[in-house]
Each structure stands twice: as structure tokens, then as C-alpha cells.
Structure 1
């Protein structure tokens, strides 16, 4: 039986075009981009071409793109360097209780060295209230870090409203847009975003490469020190093949492609829910189905252990997850569902995340849903 991969929120298969260009780069473009000879200049040109492609996708200046190793480095750089460089102006940071671990663990680190962090709550639908943020803002607030779209339940955060609110405040605004960049039109200048983190492997690009958008309106010290790469903003010899792969992945995500994927993913979700309803399967959608990323649906199946369900599905060649790939496989419950429902709610141990992406088809979703229904019925019996 052909396996069915429905865990694209964890990572995505590389697009064939990405593999092709990366193989070519690894075979022919081996020069160090910092070298001044022909081989180095050739590699440098490849990087600058990708910088232009990415800048165009965000409608920002090429200079505002800093290549790095991915979302975790981007989040750490944005949060830690902003905090340390602005600590004389204040020690207060704001984030939410449902951020990715790359943000939450970084905030915990800053708390350990004396910073004051506010973790904004969400309601049972995983929604953040902008008025809560407004009430929490203080004169000594130096950074607000709120994700664009949640990686577990798919909820989109009120980024535009937050950007408007912070226009009249000196706090830097950072957003982890790793999960949203592949599907949403994100224009930082229009939204008031100062810093934005992206990872290539969430958009059918390679692992271990990404970028940080940094507005020219703010200053940000380097996180890594050493050479003068990225205009002294991120030391370390650039991963040329990875950056070229990232650029090709971005090129493949045209507005038309994003729209087609959105329609397909919306159709997949509707198909799953329709079949569950027809089979009389009790379930609940976690999050706000009216304001979310199309490729993620998080479902709570009462009296069905998520770990047991995942094991049964895996044995049948189906890959889904219980939540963030950075915490999956541990005994820790989903911090996102805990923030929504409280620590003792059964949904925390009885929910799964299904996430769509490249190569999924209607036929796969039909077969997955059939397997899912049969497995749930078996477990409940």
C-alpha cells in the first residue's frame, strides 16, 4: 500500500525543481561567496539573486533579508538580540502562550537572566485578543513576539491589528511566520512587522536554511560572530546550494499556486469532516475553523488516545501527528491545547493534527479518511 503523508506542518518533501537546482549548484557552484575570484563571485551572485526573489515575495528591500539556518535561529536572533540591545530602555517582553518552542524556550532563557516576560492567554478557540495585548503594553516593553499562524491548530493571529497598535509604541514587533509564509501573502512594511522568521523546509525547500527579515527601520546586533558574511549581520560561510533551493521553493509558490493549494486543502478538510459526519464519528475541531491556515486541521476524538491512534495509522502507512514536531515523541502534552482548554482537559491527549501539502490528492484523502474512521471505530470498540 502506498504511504500517505499528512504531516506537512512538521516538514515538507522537497519540490522536484528544488532538488534539480540544488544538485546543479552542488556540482558546479563550489566557490566561497566571500572569495573575490571568479568562483567566489559566481557563488555570491547566486545568493544575491535569491535575495531579490525573496524580497519581491515580501515586497521589501533585498538588503532587509538575512540568510541563516532556519526558523529557530531566526527566532533566537530576533528575540535575544533585540532584548539584549534594548535592555537599557526596558526589560519587558510580550509573547503568547501558544508560540512555537523556538520562541517560548528563548523567552524562558531571557527570564532566567532577568527579563520580565508576559505570556498572553488565548480563549478556547485559540484566539488572541488584541485588547489583552494593549492592556499588557508598558513603557518598558521592548519587544512583542507573536506568531503569524499557529503550527498546531492553524489559527491566524491578528497581525495587522497588532502592527497598527504598535505604531504608537517603541516596542519591536517580531513574528514567527514559518508556518504561514507558504500560503499567506505577507507584506511586512504594510503590516508594521520589524522582524520575521522563515524556514525553507516548510515550503518544499531544504532543511537547515531560512532567512530573517529585518526592517531597515530598526538596528539588530549580530547573533553569530566571526566573518563578515551577510554584511556582518550573520557570520558563517553561506549554504549556497541551500539558499538557491530556498529561492527556487519561493519561486514555485506563485500567487496562482498558493490559491490552487488553498482551494485543494479546503476541499480536503471538507471531505474529511463530511466522511466523519456520515460515519457518525464524534469529533471536535480544535481552533477557529473560520480564521486559519488551510493546510492544518486539528481534531479532537473523545475517548481515542492520540498516541494509540497515531500508532495504528502509522502501521497502515499513514503519517499524521499530535502537534509540533519539535515536541512530538516526548511525554510532554501540547502546550497549545493546554493554553486553550486547561491542563486536565481530555482533548490534550485525544487530539491529532492533519496537515496537507505537495503531492496530496483527493484519492489519498479519501483513503486516509476511510482508514481513520475504521481505526477510530476499532479503538472505541
Structure 2
């Protein structure tokens, strides 16, 4: 919106005495400037709206009064403060700020619209889940089948749109992997569609599973979003993409603004979500952020880079899958279910080992930065 407004003002001033005075408006043509504007806008709005949204959620009694899985499995030594009553559904702060900042600063194109659409749909799904947990007694929220059905359908819509549009069809039909400069498969629309669905569904659920400690999920999201801030800018720059031998995607540069807005909103939310948290993002925020990262990875033709950049998210998700299916397997074989971890997701396993909550979060941040560096290394190691 700001881009269009500056363009209109510049055109109106052309040929008048105001042309020279308003020449600074040309700065807003640059993606770097608008990305910085999006990040600062999202950060400022988060800081300003944070106390107001938290107070509003408290007034509505949207607090975490339901029993979470950590509590159900027994006391955790790292739980120094009770989290009951802390407002949840903080995604109602995070997502609107991120979307508004994106719409203000980006040049709207189909890629930006797809990313925003995914975030809004998954935010709605998460809101429905959180609302059910809060308002329905003993409710566990939306069933896993319903969540997976909505996420899968969303991934299919994105994939089929990209496949149907000739300009974006290679994003689905050509399969790119990290550390390799050529597609490993071409004309593989079915495989590409599956990868698209897995990216959206997997990333959305992985971030959701990681959201169990104060500041953990949002901090790791910011780290991962920074990786894709770099990738989206390079993917949308024809010269840089050709030099680095990565896929050039016309219009992908505007996703840099989207990633910048995610970083700004994430840092603003972390201000209130760090230990001891004043608000939790809930599924309203975690499903939306994870889906946003997944769709961005698809839109710049780098879905497998997300596995590296979001390595901690992957480990968290794998820990849940291993725990669940190993327990079922051993129960069928021996009659007694056994566990791989003391508790899943993985961050609770380390809490059971005696790590304090802040230790787990900080050490996972360090791992997140290492995974981010490895993901960025794929730009040169090909």
C-alpha cells in the first residue's frame, strides 16, 4: 500500500516544483527499504498493542486453565512458576500485526497473497482449536484428523494453484534439494504436489509442537524467518540467483517483506512471551507461523532447505512421532509400552532431566542458530 501511495504521489508531482523535494519517495521502490519498514512497523505495533491485547484476553478469560500435556505427566522441576491463568491465543496479536505490516509495505503479487492466505487460514484453524479448549469443559480442542484435513486441503490448494499457473508451474514440477544446483527431478508434478503439502502440514505442526516453553517457538521462528529473509531476497534477484545458481522466482523478492514482518512481529511478541510469559501464542499463532514458513519455502523453490533451517522444529516433531509409534509398537509386541524419551516433545525430555526452562530455551536457540548457518551455507556449497 505504501509503495503504491508513493508511486502515485511521485507521478502527481512529476513536472512540478515538488518533484525534487519528493524524490526521496523513490527509496520505497527498494525491497530492502520496505522490508526494514515492515519489520519496524510490526515491532512497533506489537509493543504498542501487546499490553492492550493481553488485558483484553484476560478480560475475556481466555487464559490457559485447561490441563496441558506437561502437567498431566507429572510435575516438571523446571516449572518454577505456575502457568495457569496466563492468557493464551496471543496469535490474535501476532498474526494481524504481521499481515497488516506485510500489506502496508509489500507490492501485492500472487506469491504474497498465497503466503498471507495460508497464515490467515491456519490462524483461523488455531483459533477454533484454542477456543474449543477454553470454552468446552475437558475439551482437547480440534481433533487431529480435522487439523490434518484442513492443513492438507490448504497445501493442495497452494500446490494446485502453482501447478495450474504456467509462470509458477516449475515450483511444483521441478524438485530442488540443498547442496545441488540442478533439479533432481523434472516433470514430477505429483511428487512436487506431495512435497508442497508436506511442507505446509509438517512445518505448521512442527512449530505447534515446539510451542511448549516460554519464548521457545517464537524465538526459533524468528531465527528461521531470518534465513528465509535472505533466501527470498536472493531468489527474487535475477543477478544474485544466477551467480549463486539458485532458482530465480520472479516476484519472490516481495516475500522478503513478508519474512521481515514475521521477524518484527515475532520479536515484538517475544517481548511479552519470554520467561515468565505474560501471554502464550496458542495454536492461533503457532499453526499460522509454521504454515507461513512452509509456504514461503515452497514459493521460492526451497522446501527442503526448511528442513535444515528449522532443524529444531524437525527434531521436536520427530521426538513426538518416535515416542508415539515406539510406544504402540512395544505395547503390541510385549504388552507394555516403552518410551524413547522421558517425555515428548523433546524440550520436555530435557526438563525431565533437570534442565531449567530458561536453559532449554537458550540451548535450543543456539541449536537453531547453528541450523540457520548450515541452511545459509547451502547457498555456496553446491
TM-score range with shorter-chain normalisation? under 0.3
More strand by percentage:
1
**TM-score for the superposition, normalised by structure 1:** 0.28
**TM-score for the superposition, normalised by structure 2:** 0.28
